[in-house]
Amino acid sequence: MKLKQLESLLGGLQQFSNPKVELEQYPTGPHIASRMLYTAENSFGDVCDKVVADFGCGCGTLGVAAGLLGAEHVIGIDVDPESLELASLNAEELELDIDYVQCNIKNLGWRAEVVDTIVMNPPFGTRKKGADMDFLSVALKVASQAVYSLHKTSTRDHVKRAALQQFNASSAEVICELRYDLPQTYKFHKKREVDIAVDLWRFVPKSKQGPEV
Protein backbone atom coordinates (compact mmCIF):
# COMPACT_ATOMS: atom_id res chain seq x y z
CA MET A 1 0.00 0.00 0.00
CA LYS A 2 1.21 3.49 -0.83
CA LEU A 3 1.75 6.04 1.94
CA LYS A 4 -0.83 8.42 0.45
CA GLN A 5 -3.42 5.67 0.31
CA LEU A 6 -2.78 4.72 3.93
CA GLU A 7 -3.05 8.32 5.05
CA SER A 8 -6.30 8.80 3.21
CA LEU A 9 -7.88 5.64 4.71
CA LEU A 10 -6.85 6.75 8.20
CA GLY A 11 -8.31 10.18 7.50
CA GLY A 12 -11.75 8.59 7.25
CA LEU A 13 -11.70 7.19 10.80
CA GLN A 14 -14.03 8.51 13.47
CA GLN A 15 -12.34 10.52 16.20
CA PHE A 16 -13.28 11.14 19.84
CA SER A 17 -16.42 13.20 20.17
CA ASN A 18 -15.89 13.89 23.89
CA PRO A 19 -12.19 13.54 24.64
CA LYS A 20 -11.30 12.97 28.28
CA VAL A 21 -8.71 15.41 29.56
CA GLU A 22 -7.52 13.24 32.44
CA LEU A 23 -6.53 10.54 29.95
CA GLU A 24 -4.89 13.08 27.65
CA GLN A 25 -6.95 11.85 24.74
CA TYR A 26 -5.60 13.52 21.65
CA PRO A 27 -6.26 11.85 18.33
CA THR A 28 -3.25 10.60 16.41
CA GLY A 29 -3.74 12.36 13.10
CA PRO A 30 -3.60 10.46 9.80
CA HIS A 31 -0.42 12.27 8.75
CA ILE A 32 1.63 11.12 11.73
CA ALA A 33 0.00 7.69 12.06
CA SER A 34 0.56 6.79 8.42
CA ARG A 35 4.24 7.83 8.52
CA MET A 36 4.80 5.97 11.76
CA LEU A 37 3.46 2.63 10.53
CA TYR A 38 4.77 3.04 6.99
CA THR A 39 8.29 3.49 8.35
CA ALA A 40 7.91 0.56 10.74
CA GLU A 41 6.99 -1.69 7.84
CA ASN A 42 9.08 -0.40 4.98
CA SER A 43 12.32 0.44 6.78
CA PHE A 44 12.28 -2.28 9.44
CA GLY A 45 9.79 -5.01 8.48
CA ASP A 46 8.09 -4.80 11.88
CA VAL A 47 4.44 -4.95 10.80
CA CYS A 48 3.48 -7.36 8.00
CA ASP A 49 2.80 -10.93 9.29
CA LYS A 50 3.52 -9.77 12.85
CA VAL A 51 1.60 -9.60 16.11
CA VAL A 52 1.20 -5.89 16.82
CA ALA A 53 -0.20 -4.28 19.97
CA ASP A 54 -1.46 -0.71 20.15
CA PHE A 55 -1.05 0.62 23.70
CA GLY A 56 -3.54 3.30 24.71
CA CYS A 57 -5.20 2.80 21.36
CA GLY A 58 -7.87 5.47 21.77
CA CYS A 59 -10.06 5.42 18.69
CA GLY A 60 -7.70 2.88 17.18
CA THR A 61 -5.78 4.74 14.47
CA LEU A 62 -2.35 3.14 14.92
CA GLY A 63 -3.71 -0.40 15.25
CA VAL A 64 -5.88 0.08 12.19
CA ALA A 65 -2.84 1.33 10.28
CA ALA A 66 -0.96 -1.82 11.33
CA GLY A 67 -3.85 -3.97 10.15
CA LEU A 68 -3.94 -2.18 6.80
CA LEU A 69 -0.23 -2.87 6.34
CA GLY A 70 -0.72 -6.60 6.80
CA ALA A 71 -0.18 -7.30 10.51
CA GLU A 72 -1.47 -10.82 11.12
CA HIS A 73 -2.93 -10.06 14.54
CA VAL A 74 -3.56 -6.66 16.12
CA ILE A 75 -4.56 -5.99 19.72
CA GLY A 76 -5.65 -2.56 20.91
CA ILE A 77 -5.59 -1.81 24.61
CA ASP A 78 -7.19 1.14 26.32
CA VAL A 79 -8.61 1.98 29.71
CA ASP A 80 -11.59 3.87 28.28
CA PRO A 81 -14.63 1.85 27.13
CA GLU A 82 -15.97 4.59 24.85
CA SER A 83 -12.67 4.71 22.98
CA LEU A 84 -12.71 0.95 22.53
CA GLU A 85 -16.22 1.02 21.15
CA LEU A 86 -15.20 3.67 18.65
CA ALA A 87 -12.05 1.74 17.77
CA SER A 88 -14.12 -1.40 17.13
CA LEU A 89 -16.37 0.53 14.77
CA ASN A 90 -13.36 1.96 12.95
CA ALA A 91 -11.85 -1.50 12.50
CA GLU A 92 -15.15 -2.92 11.32
CA GLU A 93 -15.57 -0.12 8.82
CA LEU A 94 -12.28 -1.12 7.17
CA GLU A 95 -13.03 -4.85 7.48
CA LEU A 96 -10.13 -5.49 9.83
CA ASP A 97 -10.21 -8.13 12.58
CA ILE A 98 -8.71 -6.45 15.60
CA ASP A 99 -8.96 -7.62 19.21
CA TYR A 100 -9.59 -4.98 21.86
CA VAL A 101 -8.94 -5.30 25.57
CA GLN A 102 -9.98 -2.86 28.26
CA CYS A 103 -7.10 -2.51 30.67
CA ASN A 104 -4.84 -0.03 32.35
CA ILE A 105 -1.46 -0.42 30.65
CA LYS A 106 0.26 -0.24 34.01
CA ASN A 107 -1.64 -3.27 35.29
CA LEU A 108 -1.38 -5.37 32.19
CA GLY A 109 -0.81 -9.07 32.84
CA TRP A 110 0.88 -10.51 29.81
CA ARG A 111 3.11 -13.36 28.67
CA ALA A 112 5.90 -11.55 26.95
CA GLU A 113 6.90 -13.88 24.11
CA VAL A 114 4.02 -13.39 21.73
CA VAL A 115 3.85 -9.72 20.78
CA ASP A 116 6.41 -8.68 18.15
CA THR A 117 5.81 -4.98 17.83
CA ILE A 118 4.16 -2.29 19.91
CA VAL A 119 2.95 0.98 18.46
CA MET A 120 1.73 3.74 20.69
CA ASN A 121 0.98 7.40 21.07
CA PRO A 122 1.12 7.53 24.86
CA PRO A 123 -0.20 10.36 26.98
CA PHE A 124 2.64 12.88 26.99
CA GLY A 125 2.47 13.07 30.76
CA THR A 126 1.58 16.76 30.88
CA ARG A 127 -1.55 16.14 32.98
CA LYS A 128 -0.35 13.06 34.83
CA LYS A 129 3.38 13.20 35.27
CA GLY A 130 5.25 10.12 34.14
CA ALA A 131 2.34 8.57 32.25
CA ASP A 132 4.42 8.33 29.07
CA MET A 133 7.24 6.56 30.90
CA ASP A 134 4.80 4.05 32.43
CA PHE A 135 3.71 3.11 28.93
CA LEU A 136 7.27 2.81 27.68
CA SER A 137 8.34 0.68 30.60
CA VAL A 138 5.57 -1.88 30.02
CA ALA A 139 5.99 -1.79 26.24
CA LEU A 140 9.66 -2.70 26.48
CA LYS A 141 8.76 -5.69 28.64
CA VAL A 142 6.03 -6.97 26.34
CA ALA A 143 7.46 -6.41 22.84
CA SER A 144 9.97 -8.92 21.52
CA GLN A 145 11.03 -6.98 18.43
CA ALA A 146 10.41 -3.25 18.54
CA VAL A 147 8.47 -0.42 20.15
CA TYR A 148 7.41 2.64 18.15
CA SER A 149 6.34 5.59 20.21
CA LEU A 150 5.80 9.35 20.08
CA HIS A 151 7.28 11.63 22.71
CA LYS A 152 7.68 15.38 22.94
CA THR A 153 10.96 16.49 21.42
CA SER A 154 11.60 18.57 24.54
CA THR A 155 11.91 15.33 26.55
CA ARG A 156 14.36 13.63 24.17
CA ASP A 157 17.32 13.24 26.54
CA HIS A 158 15.13 12.05 29.35
CA VAL A 159 13.39 9.46 27.17
CA LYS A 160 16.68 8.11 25.88
CA ARG A 161 18.20 7.81 29.34
CA ALA A 162 15.13 6.13 30.83
CA ALA A 163 14.80 3.67 27.95
CA LEU A 164 18.43 2.57 28.00
CA GLN A 165 19.16 2.68 31.72
CA GLN A 166 15.86 1.84 33.42
CA PHE A 167 13.78 -0.07 30.90
CA ASN A 168 16.46 -2.30 29.42
CA ALA A 169 16.24 -1.13 25.83
CA SER A 170 19.22 -2.20 23.75
CA SER A 171 18.71 0.73 21.43
CA ALA A 172 16.65 3.92 21.39
CA GLU A 173 16.69 5.95 18.19
CA VAL A 174 14.75 8.96 17.03
CA ILE A 175 13.66 8.10 13.51
CA CYS A 176 12.26 11.50 12.69
CA GLU A 177 10.87 14.66 14.17
CA LEU A 178 7.27 15.42 13.38
CA ARG A 179 4.88 18.29 13.95
CA TYR A 180 1.87 17.29 15.98
CA ASP A 181 -0.89 19.61 14.81
CA LEU A 182 -3.05 19.74 17.86
CA PRO A 183 -6.41 21.24 17.13
CA GLN A 184 -8.14 23.01 20.01
CA THR A 185 -9.45 19.93 21.80
CA TYR A 186 -10.14 21.17 25.28
CA LYS A 187 -11.52 24.37 26.74
CA PHE A 188 -8.27 25.17 28.51
CA HIS A 189 -6.47 25.38 25.19
CA LYS A 190 -6.10 29.08 24.51
CA LYS A 191 -4.90 28.93 20.95
CA ARG A 192 -7.01 27.49 18.20
CA GLU A 193 -4.24 25.20 17.04
CA VAL A 194 -0.73 24.52 18.26
CA ASP A 195 2.20 22.77 16.71
CA ILE A 196 4.11 20.53 19.07
CA ALA A 197 7.40 19.03 18.01
CA VAL A 198 7.33 15.28 18.64
CA ASP A 199 9.88 12.57 18.05
CA LEU A 200 9.07 9.26 16.47
CA TRP A 201 11.15 6.72 18.38
CA ARG A 202 12.09 3.15 17.66
CA PHE A 203 13.19 1.17 20.70
CA VAL A 204 14.56 -2.34 20.62
CA PRO A 205 14.12 -4.42 23.77
CA LYS A 206 17.21 -6.10 25.14
CA SER A 207 18.06 -9.80 24.72
CA LYS A 208 15.40 -10.30 22.13
CA GLN A 209 17.26 -8.51 19.37
CA GLY A 210 18.08 -10.13 16.07
CA PRO A 211 16.15 -11.66 13.22
CA GLU A 212 13.58 -14.33 13.89
CA VAL A 213 14.54 -17.91 13.17
Partner 1 sequence: MRLLSHNMLSSNIKGVTNGFPLRIEAEKVVVKQVDLNVRFLKNMFPKIEWKALVEASRTMGYAELPEEVEPSKLDSRDFLQKFHHALLELVLEEGALVCPETGRRFPVSKGIPNMLLHEDEV
Exposed / middle / buried, residue 113 (Cβ in 10 Å: 0-12, 13-18, 19+): exposed
Query: What kind and span of H or E run contains 196?
Result: strand 193-205
| Burial track 60-71 (b if 16+ CB lie within 10 A, e otherwise) | bbbbbbbbbbeb
Binding span for partner 1 by CB under 8 A among 4-12, 101-109, 150-158, 166-174? 101-109
Among 13, 51, 136, 143, binds partner 1 (CB under 8 A): 51
- CA-CA distance, 117 to 140, in Å (whole number)? 10
- Check residue 97 for interaction with partner 1 (CB under 8 A): yes
Can you tell me which of 4, 14, 20, 99 binds partner 1, judged by CB under 8 A? 99
Binding to partner 1 by CB under 8 A, coded x per residue (else -) over 107-146, reads xxxxx-xxx-------------------------------
**Residues near partner 1 (CB under 8 A), total:** 26
Interaction of residue 102 with partner 1, rule CB under 8 A: yes
From 8-16, 105-113, 187-195, 197-205, give the range in contact with partner 1 by CB under 8 A.
105-113
Q: Pick the closer one to partner 1 by CB: 84 or 200.
A: 84
Distances in whole angstroms, Cα of residue 107 to Cα of each of 22, 118, 132, 154: 18, 16, 14, 28
Distance from C-alpha of 124 to C-alpha of 131, rounded to nearest angstrom? 7
Tell me which residues touch partner 1 (CB under 8 A): 49, 51, 72-73, 75, 79, 81, 84-85, 88, 97, 99-104, 107-111, 113-115, 212
